[in-house]
Amino acid sequence: MTTFTDPYSSSRETTEGTVFSVTGGDWNELVTEIGATKEEHIVVNMGPQHPSTHGVLRLVLELEGETVTEVRCGIGYLHTGIEKNIEYRSWTQGVTFVTRMDYLSPLFNETAYCLATEKLLGITNDVPERASAIRVLMMELNRISSHMVALGTGALELGAITPMFFAFRERERVLDIFEMISGLRMNMAYIRPGGVQQDLPAGATQKIRETVKEMRKAFKDNATLLIGNSIWMKRTVGIGYLDLAGCTTLGITGPVLRSTGLPWDLRKTQPYCGYENYDFDVVTTDTCDVYGRFLIRMNELEQSLRIIEQACDKIDKLAGAPVMVADKKIAWPAQLAMGGDGLGNSLDHIREIMGTSMESLIHHFKLVTEGFRVPAGQVYAAVESPRGELGAHIVSDGGTRPYRMHFREPSFNNLQSTSAMCEGSMVADIIGAVASIDPVMGGVDR
């Protein structure tokens, strides 16, 4: 047996095997030695840079000088077990879990889950039109708030601080609206199977219209600051290149796919919630790079504002219409009011089920304690989230809880493109490339 001695690494035998103690060495000698080897590749851990990846995404880089020869993404650090947890909750309770997956776009998670549940129940066409219009309104507001995080943090990572302030200023306006409507700013569990949690409060559409006018004007701040800016252009143009063939091979969707020129948007290609009745454009570029993805998100803001205005018009025309399906064996009570102990069923609803209708009281009790039954079968329903196609595949065994649920989460698929975008580029360009993917690890590690 050949033995060798390392002056910087002594060893000792233990019951668990050989243990090495590394004591270090002369750093200058080490650097000189690495520099003298022309073919030397260094493996390093990079980041975190993007605020969504702190401690939950590991980028392992193999470098040859400043050039990246290989990139590997390490995921799984934020595993929540949401998909498994839902198997032990009623169908309505599942909404409170899925809303926490991609926490920057909770309303899209809720909508995909509810559309799939409604498809299994066979009530897709029974969902009230006012409820569908409110869903569209809330999703487009959520698209704006999510894009604000993507644009603001992406600029910050590349050294532009002011766009971050502008973006989060506008995001606060949206979160204020969410709080006014649902009582919460994030993870609202507002969209429920059969409709929505509750109707809009009085004066909501007027407040939203005023906010839309303010945002339309304020969005120009970031556009003026960054579009055509020579420093911004050098950090984004031609960086993170991924063409259409690469996107289709890897299953990439959302702004990354549309930056190749393909106008694939489920709101147009596979409409849901009545999107076919709204007038808006699918934004594309043909640059296939970080700059193109930035432009797409900037321009999608205006399209969302257009949809929001149309949704407000529909909601106003449907004043007084129901926001939950009529079948009381499925419909979770949507007659809510703010009481001394917080948001809950309105006193009028309580008086009715407690004092005038024993059958209503029984249904209410069974609905809350046991939940409704969903016919056996399996379905897939998808929506266009800010990051791409978000789909829910749900299996029912005919019980009051999902038998199995799995989400097709766009961040999980889109992260595959990191290697294709970054290998062969400089280390500094990885930051912009990952930011343009806009991954949210809550959706990846569900």
CA pair distance 250, 265, nearest whole angstrom: 17
By percentage, how much of the chain surpasses pLDDT 70? Answer: 88
Number of neighbours of residue 274 by Cβ within 10 angstroms = 15
CA pair distance 148, 146, nearest whole angstrom: 5
Domains of the chain: 82-330+372-444 (1.10.645.10)
pLDDT at 329 over 60: yes
Q: Is the pTM of this model over 0.75?
A: yes
Asked if residue 349 lies in contact with residue 210, where contact means CB atoms within 8 angstroms, the answer is: no
φ, ψ dihedrals at 274, nearest 5°: 80, 20
pLDDT digits (tens, 9 = 90+) for 16-70: 677 666 555 555 665 565 455 556 777 778 776 666 667 788 888 888 888 888 8
What pLDDT is recorded for position 137?
A: 95
How big, in percent rounded to 5, are the helix, strand and coil portions of the chain? Answer: 50, 15, 35
CA atoms within 13 A on the CB side of 93: 17
> DSSP character for 275?
G
**Mode of pairing for the β-strands spanning 377-385 and 388-396:** antiparallel
Residue 396, strand partner residues: 377
CA pair distance 152, 15, nearest whole angstrom: 53
Asked if residue 414 lies in contact with residue 434, where contact means CB atoms within 8 angstroms, the answer is: no
Q: How far apart are the first and last CA of the chain?
A: 49
